[in-house]
Chains A and B, each alone.
Chain A
Amino acid sequence: QSVLTQPPSVSGAPGQRVTISCTGSSSDIGAGYYVHWYQQLPGTAPKLLIYANTYRPSGVPDRFSGSTSGTSASLAITGLQAEDEADYYCQSYDNSLGRVFGGGTKLTVL
């Protein structure tokens, strides 16, 4: 299983707000390492969505935001749109394992 724990799935109706959690430990997120988020649309490669906990790369809408607290992180998506339907992965660094990912969360737009 993955070092970082994410819910397998979340869902929401268009226009709603959803959050995806990413739970780590004292050797990764809790040690102060940044959390990054990736979006993987069906059949495509992952794309960087949020880096260094809260920053959005150029071109990513401000409907996407990231936050951290203790040993966990969250990705929030507001004003949910049909095109947001995708898999979302968190990523951080672990003292022993190096770069680590969450297991991924499938977002369904109802």
Chain B
Amino acid sequence: QVQLVESGGGLVKPGGSLRLSCAASGFTFSDYYMSWVRQAPGKGLEWLSYISGSGDSISSGDSVRGRFTISRDNAKNSLYLQMNSLRAEDTAVYYCTRDSIPYFDSWGQGTLVTVSS
């Protein structure tokens, strides 16, 4: 069965950086687009970025474009999110999702990122 396991969350100061990882298993990773979706505490869901199976097509939402970078390593069945210039409003649970264009058919359990001084 599809399994997505995020890691790398934690406490970071405003202006700092963090790299999230997602380990995928149970499906042919390189066949699928993948996306990151986040949820601020007590708030709704926000799509952040997607990457194609080969990695040659990437798109990001306005709120993170230029600060966050999605990438993948198909040899390691892993998805990444490099987050720079972090702000307090980036505090959220970050979910790795399998993207079946244009819906998210599998979700990880999430990793919490807290941006605070």
- Name A residues whose Cβ lies closer than 8 Å to a Cβ of B: 2, 33-34, 36, 38, 44-48, 51-52, 57, 89, 91-93, 97-104
Chain A contacts for B102, CB-based, 8 A: 33-34, 36, 92-93, 99
Of the candidates A45, A51, A93, A98, the one whose C-beta lies within 8 Å of that of B107 is: A45
- Alpha-carbon gap, A89 to B44, bound state (A): 8
B92 to chain A, nearest CB (A): 13
A34: which B residues are within 8 A, CB to CB? Answer: 102-103
- B107 neighbours in A (Cβ, 8 Å): 45-47
Inter-subunit contact B103/A104 (CB<8 Å): no
Size category of the B interface is 20 to 34
**Once bound together, how far apart are the Cα atoms of A102 and B106, in whole Å?**
19
Name 23 A/B residue pairs within 8 A (Cβ), A-sorted.
A34-B103, A38-B104, A44-B109, A45-B95, A45-B110, A46-B45, A46-B95, A46-B107, A48-B103, A48-B105, A48-B106, A51-B103, A51-B105, A57-B105, A91-B104, A92-B102, A97-B61, A97-B62, A98-B47, A99-B47, A100-B47, A101-B45, A104-B44
B 92-116 binary contact with A (CB < 8 Å = 1; else 0): 0001000010111111111000000
Tell whether A102 pairs with B103 under 8 Å between CB atoms, given A45-B95, A45-B109, A97-B61. no
Which partner residue on chain A sits nearest B6 by CB separation?
A45
Chain B residues with CB below 8 A from A97, complex form = 61-62
Best-surrounded residue of B35, B47, B62, B108 (most CB of chain A within 10 A) = B47
- Flag whether B54 is at the interface (Cβ < 8 A): no
Residues from chain A with Cβ under 8 Å of B47 in the complex: 91, 98-101
Q: Which 3 A-B pairs have the closest CB atoms?
A: A36-B103, A99-B47, A45-B107
Contact between chains at A52 and B103 (CB < 8 Å): yes
